[in-house]
């Protein structure tokens, strides 16, 4: 029996494994980089071991240091979580060679499935559905669109969609470079890209006694940059024949490989033919199913399977690693049939409206109101939150941008959607830009409600779904609430003024004004004290401007009325940052200073970093002439590479970075002076 588990990971998955270990009476050990020294997962563990450095390559990817930490802390087992070393066969073997228990499949199975090329060969040998790989030299335009994939790894890294044959060589080169950086393997291959396919995966759990349980399926079709955003179980709308074919193929692969432990077999399912006819409208057996890969670890989206089966997959992983039989541990001879419906959304620190650029900062507050289970399935229909951050957590550039997973479990799909959307609507999250509005928009979309899903859908609807919940009128009300609350707080904090109504002046004057930056735009509002009561005013010369009525004003709560409808706003302040929660969700405002430091002015023509990250390469030199679209800098942020190009023809008059530089969002990378007089970037 395992007594102490070291989790070779970080963030929410480390906390998730620790939660099950505590329930089982197993002691826990965390390993952490310097950047994660104060992270919540470190506090959750019974003991912690520092891995000096920040970058994954010098910390969480150093298997030798992780094994040494396990030995030093007295751990007798290692759980890899997902990502990092979780699918590294050499690491799994080294763990066993060190006399420790590896909570995962055999190294041989990891190695066999670690290569997408090899795994396709094994699926074919098992009689499963496999799409053939294409030879780049023999392709024609009739093969388009294509997709370039890395043989190792996943998460969208080392993957490029190609719609023009001339772009294929560059796509293969870029995919290989990204794969080499992320996984240490530059092998890539090319296959047909199924435009309207759904991404369906099958959860398996196998023990060393020959038992393989198929624990249902999940739909993971809504993705950005080939990374999942929304997952649900069971996969909605599949015909019985298609579902059975998927489960049988997954089970056959498990037996072909001799797999043990938790794993996920992933497929693309094309439900429409060339005439746009759905699977349900034609022969059920004619769905196009193509095997993608097998992930030899726990998946990010495992909570939705736990919700509908009632099983703890981490507990089953531990039991299988101890050599126990699934039937014995679960107390049942067959796997439970799915009950109800569960949906998970991934909450990322990213700007969905700006090509999903990763964001950094300090999480000032994070609260999901209501009764919420944490890191374990709800005891009844309801909500679950698996989060790697709390108020005060720093979100940096070194790791994945995911902050948390919010899961809703209901008796049916419609109930789960409503529960989850309502929870996201009440979520209070401030300090970093997130995809919260996008998730709220997805769950409210008719296409999602109807289950009409595909891997291309999010890209097609991103503009509509990522639209902020707060429009210009709502933002003005948020800013008004912030200004009124700040006026009360200022009066209360000043001894002389604490007995004088906020905003009071003994000489008639113009209204007070306050200005804030919201989503990069400046917003100004006005207020005055009328008979000792703070009252919103028009912020411009338009006397007919409609302004709300303030019925309640305190330092942290403001109620504004429009057309007889009262809406409450909660206000919190942290220096120049004002956090307001209202009917359109959370909104971050920054106070505009009355005077601007000249040093803060940006030179015209400056090319700014769209996100914090590391400079991988610089493609220009100072004084060089460039054309629009030329590569200036390649940044790496949160495991993804981002190419910064020249926005116009011109000359590089200043180059502020070099390869290896660390930059913050908004930092000047280069200055490009336009070739035409007066033209700049």
Has residue 244 got a pLDDT over 70?
yes
Give residue 629's pLDDT band: very low, low, confident or very high (50, 70, 90): confident
CATH of the domain at 292: 3.30.470.20
**Dist CA 650 CA 625 (whole Å):** 6
Is 137 within a domain?
Answer: no
Residues 6+ apart with CB under 8 A from 247: 202, 214, 217
Has residue 366 got a pLDDT over 70?
yes
Of the residues 436, 467, 498, which one is the last residue of a structural domain?
A: 467
Is 141 within a domain?
Answer: no
What pLDDT, on a 0 to 100 scale, did the predictor assign at position 371? 81
Q: Tell which residue, 604, 665, 607, has the closest CA to residue 633.
A: 607
State whether 415 and 383 are in the same domain: yes
Is 679 within a domain?
Answer: no
Is 452 within a domain?
Answer: yes
What pLDDT, on a 0 to 100 scale, did the predictor assign at position 253? 97
Q: Tell me the H-state helices in 466-601.
A: 472-493
Q: Is 26 in contact with 318 (CB distance < 8 Å)?
A: yes
Give residue 279's pLDDT band: very low, low, confident or very high (50, 70, 90): very low
CATH of the domain at 64: 3.40.50.20
What pLDDT, on a 0 to 100 scale, did the predictor assign at position 648? 86
CATH of the domain at 172: 3.30.1490.20
Give residue 168's pLDDT band: very low, low, confident or very high (50, 70, 90): very high
Maximum average pLDDT range among 96-105, 133-142, 266-275, 287-296: 96-105
State whether 450 and 379 are in the same domain: yes
Has residue 677 got a pLDDT over 70?
no
Is 122 within a domain?
Answer: yes
State whether 557 and 616 are in the same domain: no
> Lowest-pLDDT range, 324-333, 490-499, 502-511, 529-538?
502-511
Q: Tell which residue, 175, 188, 189, has the closest CA to residue 131.
A: 189
Of the residues 418, 439, 467, which one is the last residue of a structural domain?
A: 467
Q: Tell me the mean pLDDT in the region 279-290.
A: 59
Has residue 304 got a pLDDT over 70?
yes
State whether 418 and 437 are in the same domain: yes
CATH of the domain at 635: 2.40.50.100
> Lowest-pLDDT range, 395-409, 589-603, 659-673?
589-603
State whether 561 and 451 are in the same domain: no
Is 659 within a domain?
Answer: yes
**Dist CA 344 CA 417 (whole Å):** 10
Percent of the chain clearing pLDDT 70 (strictly above): 91
Top-confidence residue, 30 or 507: 30
What is the per-residue pLDDT across 396-449, written as a single tens digit (0 to 9) for each? 988 999 999 999 999 999 999 999 999 999 999 999 999 999 999 999 999 999
Of the residues 336, 368, 400, which one is the last residue of a structural domain?
A: 336
Range of the domain at 159: 146-192
Domain count, the chain: 6
State whether 350 and 459 are in the same domain: yes
State whether 67 and 183 are in the same domain: no
Is 139 within a domain?
Answer: no
What pLDDT, on a 0 to 100 scale, did the predictor assign at position 37? 97
> Lowest-pLDDT range, 216-230, 341-355, 389-403, 641-655?
641-655
State whether 411 and 359 are in the same domain: yes
Has residue 495 got a pLDDT over 70?
no
Has residue 243 got a pLDDT over 70?
yes
> Lowest-pLDDT range, 116-130, 145-159, 268-282?
268-282
> Distances in Å between the alpha carbon of 508 and those of 109, 494, 497, 512, 536?
80, 22, 18, 12, 16
- Average pLDDT of the chain, as a whole number: 90
Has residue 508 got a pLDDT over 70?
no
Has residue 635 got a pLDDT over 90?
no
> Lowest-pLDDT range, 167-176, 330-339, 515-524, 537-546?
537-546
Q: Tell me the mean pLDDT in the region 505-509.
A: 51
Q: In the structure encoding, which two tokens stand for residue 225, read together?
A: 């940059």
Has residue 597 got a pLDDT over 60?
no
Q: At 167, is the secondary structure helix, strand, or coil?
A: helix
**Dist CA 438 CA 461 (whole Å):** 10
State whether 160 and 220 are in the same domain: no
Has residue 598 got a pLDDT over 80?
no
Half-sphere exposure of 681 (CA within 13 A, CB side): 29
Give residue 199's pLDDT band: very low, low, confident or very high (50, 70, 90): very high
Q: Tell which residue, 398, 320, 409, 344, has the closest CA to residue 637.
A: 398
pTM of the predicted model over 0.75:
yes
Q: How many CB atoms lie within 10 A of CB 310?
A: 12
Has residue 276 got a pLDDT over 90?
no
Instruction: Spell 41-78 as b/e; 16+ CB within 10 A means b.
Output: bbebbebbbbbebbebeebbbbbebbbebbeebebbbb
**Dist CA 467 CA 84 (whole Å):** 34
Give residue 379's pLDDT band: very low, low, confident or very high (50, 70, 90): confident
Has residue 625 got a pLDDT over 60?
yes
**Dist CA 281 CA 292 (whole Å):** 25
Is 118 within a domain?
Answer: yes
CA angle 590, 595, 596 (to 5 degrees): 75
Has residue 505 got a pLDDT over 90?
no
Q: Tell which residue, 202, 195, 196, 239, has the closest CA to residue 219.
A: 202
Residue listed under structure tokens 């999480």: 363
Q: At 426, is the secondary structure helix, strand, or coil?
A: helix
Has residue 274 got a pLDDT over 50?
no
DSSP-derived pairing of the beta strands 613-618 and 288-295: unpaired
What is the per-residue pLDDT across 110-126, written as a single tens digit (0 to 9) for each? 999 998 889 999 999 99
Top-confidence residue, 604 or 64: 64
Has residue 503 got a pLDDT over 80?
no
State whether 327 and 205 are in the same domain: yes
Has residue 507 got a pLDDT over 60?
no
State whether 459 and 386 are in the same domain: yes
Q: Tell which residue, 98, 99, 22, 85, has the closest CA to residue 57.
A: 85
Residue listed under structure tokens 């505009």: 592
State whether 544 and 495 are in the same domain: yes
Top-confidence residue, 193 or 601: 193
């Amino acid at each position: 029996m395992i007594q102490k588990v070291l989790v070779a990971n970080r963030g929410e998955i480390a906390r998730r494994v620790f939660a099950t270990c505590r329930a089982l009476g197993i002691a826990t050990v965390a390993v952490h980089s310097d950047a994660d020294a104060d992270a919540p997962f470190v506090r959750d563990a019974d003991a912690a071991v520092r891995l000096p450095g920040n970058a994954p390559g010098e910390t969480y990817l150093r298997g030798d240091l992780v094994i040494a930490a396990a030995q030093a802390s007295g751990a007798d087992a290692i759980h890899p979580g997902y990502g990092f070393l979780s699918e590294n066969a050499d690491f799994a073997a080294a763990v066993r060679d060190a006399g420790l228990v590896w909570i995962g499949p055999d190294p041989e199975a990891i190695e066999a499935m670690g290569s997408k090329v090899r795994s396709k060969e094994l699926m074919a040998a098992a009689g499963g559905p496999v799409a053939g790989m294409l030879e780049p030299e023999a392709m024609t335009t009739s093969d388009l669109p294509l997709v370039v994939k890395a043989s190792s790894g996943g998460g969208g890294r080392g993957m490029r969609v190609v719609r023009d044959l001339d772009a294929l060589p560059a796509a293969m080169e870029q995919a290989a470079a990204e794969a080499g950086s992320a996984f240490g393997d530059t092998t890539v291959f090319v296959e047909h890209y199924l435009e309207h396919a759904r991404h369906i995966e099958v959860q398996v759990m196998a023990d060393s006694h020959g038992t393989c349980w198929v624990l249902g399926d999940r739909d993971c079709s809504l993705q950005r940059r080939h990374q999942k955003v929304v997952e649900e179980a069971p996969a909605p709308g599949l015909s019985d024949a298609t579902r059975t074919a998927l489960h049988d193929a997954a089970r056959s692969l498990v037996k072909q490989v001799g797999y043990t432990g938790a794993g996920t077999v992933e497929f693309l399912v094309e439900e429409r033919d060339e005439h746009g006819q759905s699977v349900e409208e034609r022969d059920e057996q004619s769905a196009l199913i193509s095997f993608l890969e097998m992930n030899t670890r726990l998946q990010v989206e495992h909570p939705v399977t736990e919700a509908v089966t009632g099983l703890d997959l981490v507990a089953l992983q531990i039991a299988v690693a101890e050599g126990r039989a699934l039937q014995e541990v679960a107390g049942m001879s067959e796997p439970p049939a799915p009950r109800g419906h569960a949906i998970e959304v991934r909450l990322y620190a990213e700007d969905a409206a700006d090509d999903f650029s990763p964001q950094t900062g300090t999480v000032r507050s994070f609260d999901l109101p209501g009764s919420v289970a944490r890191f374990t399935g709800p005891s009844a229909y309801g909500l679950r939150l698996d989060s790697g951050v709390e108020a005060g957590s720093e979100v940096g550039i070194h790791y994945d941008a995911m902050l948390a997973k919010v899961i809703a479990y209901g008796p049916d799909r419609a109930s789960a959607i409503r529960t989850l959307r309502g929870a996201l609507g009440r979520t209070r999250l401030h300090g970093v830009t997130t995809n919260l509005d996008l998730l709220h928009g997805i769950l409210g979309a008719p296409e999602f409600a109807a289950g009409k899903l595909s891997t291309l859908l999010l890209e097609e609807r991103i503009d509509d779904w990522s639209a902020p919940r707060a429009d210009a009128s709502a933002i003005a009300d948020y800013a008004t609430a912030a200004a009124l609350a700040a006026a009360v707080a200022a009066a209360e904090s000043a001894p002389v003024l604490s007995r004088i109504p906020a905003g009071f002046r003994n000489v008639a004057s113009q209204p007070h004004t306050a200005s804030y930056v919201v989503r990069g735009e400046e917003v100004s509002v006005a207020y005055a004290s009328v008979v000792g009561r703070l009252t919103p005013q028009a912020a411009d010369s338009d006397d007919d401007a409609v302004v709300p009525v303030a019925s309640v004003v305190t330092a942290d709560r403001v109620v504004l009325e429009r057309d007889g409808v009262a809406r409450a706003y909660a206000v919190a302040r942290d220096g120049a940052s004002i956090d307001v929660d209202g009917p359109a969700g959370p909104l971050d405002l920054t106070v505009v200073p009355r005077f601007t430091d000249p040093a803060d002015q940006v030179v015209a023509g400056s090319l700014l970093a769209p996100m914090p990250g590391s400079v991988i390469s610089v493609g220009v030199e100072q004084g060089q002439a460039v054309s629009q679209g030329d590569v200036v800098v390649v940044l790496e942020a949160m495991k993804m590479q981002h190419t910064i190009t020249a926005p116009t023809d011109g000359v590089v008059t200043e180059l502020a970075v070099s390869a290896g530089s660390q930059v913050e969002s908004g930092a000047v990378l280069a200055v490009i002076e336009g070739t035409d007089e007066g033209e700049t970037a």
